[in-house]
Structure 1
């Protein structure tokens, strides 16, 4: 099955803030899903660079690397910025982090702690704060908190689906 590249994705504007609790639930569950997917995998598979792409550990590390951006963009919205802060589209943080040398348990715990802080921040927002809008710098579309939360959940799933591709490719060849 062909996957759409992340930078070719488009995202709908979500009108109903009543959907936010379900999106937050998705965000809460990502660390557990990561642990479930990789729990019994061999160390060699976790660091395998499949098709020249990131290893599973790098994919997981990347999720943690992105958490400060999501938190910062939430702050941008809350503080009434007109445009959300720009992401490093080259992913230098992930490329420079050497996640393959970091213990898997450390990557998982770091991501879990960061995600819990992000979810706590989202859950504490007022109805007024949920209505604020800022322009996404790459997509050039207005986003509210719910749109950002959906974007993050989709980003999580994009990378988890990539992890499954690595696992499936390995299983098919062994």
Structure 2
């Protein structure tokens, strides 16, 4: 099992990631990615609707965090494809998260959002399952981190991004209980 440094409450953009992770971690990371929507669903089973849409200052609500994850699934697939196709650089993300901020995720039920996330994640999992051993070893440069990443590295990056938002959602729910 890959050692995970406890960086859960480090700002996402301050996180550091190793690269050149071996293909022996493929199944572990695939499982983390595949099971994340159900982990999120379990966490939110007892979350009141009003708590899922409440914002704390300028921070995203629970629903907006989930919506952000949905929006990023397409980027993850594009980046996996970039690596597989041997592109020197991965496609960039909108670091301002404009699409998340402009979406109306608070007008949706979190159950619907999780269902959408599971559907999008299923497409990503299906894509990853078709990768060859040779594909797993190719690298492309991550645009923000400025380091080469292979498919496994990016899988870990995505799984850690999921975890970052899971911790954020747990914190939001915990803060709601204290109000």
Do they fold alike, i.e. is TM over 0.5? yes
Q: Structure 1 residue 110 and structure 2 residue 116: aligned?
A: yes
Distance of aligned partners of 1:2 and 1:172 in 2 relative to their CA distance in 1, 3 Å threshold: farther
Which stretch of the first structure deviates more once superposed, 117-126 or 100-109? 100-109
Q: Structure 1 residue 65 and structure 2 residue 71: aligned?
A: yes
Per the alignment, residue 25 of structure 2 pairs with: 19
Unaligned runs of 5+ in 2: 1-6
Which stretch of the first structure deviates more once superposed, 62-71 or 12-21? 12-21
Match of residue 142, structure 2, among 132, 136, 139: 136
SS of the residue 1:143 aligns to? strand
Q: CA deviation at 1:14?
A: 4.1
CA–CA separation in structure 1 for the residues paired with 2:93 and 2:14:
16
Aligned residues: 173
CA–CA separation in structure 1 for the residues paired with 2:128 and 2:53:
33
TM-score of the two chains, using structure 2 as the length reference: 0.93
SS of the residue 1:62 aligns to? helix
Distance of aligned partners of 1:80 and 1:2 in 2 relative to their CA distance in 1, 3 Å threshold: closer
Q: Structure 1 residue 90 and structure 2 residue 89: aligned?
A: no
Aligned-residue CA RMSD (Å) = 1.4
Q: CA deviation at 1:104?
A: 2.2
Q: CA deviation at 1:109?
A: 1.2
Kindly indicate which of the two structures has a greater share of residues assigned to helix.
Answer: 1
SS of the residue 2:46 aligns to? coil
Q: CA deviation at 1:51?
A: 3.8
Unaligned runs of 5+ in 1: none
Q: Structure 1 residue 172 and structure 2 residue 178: aligned?
A: yes
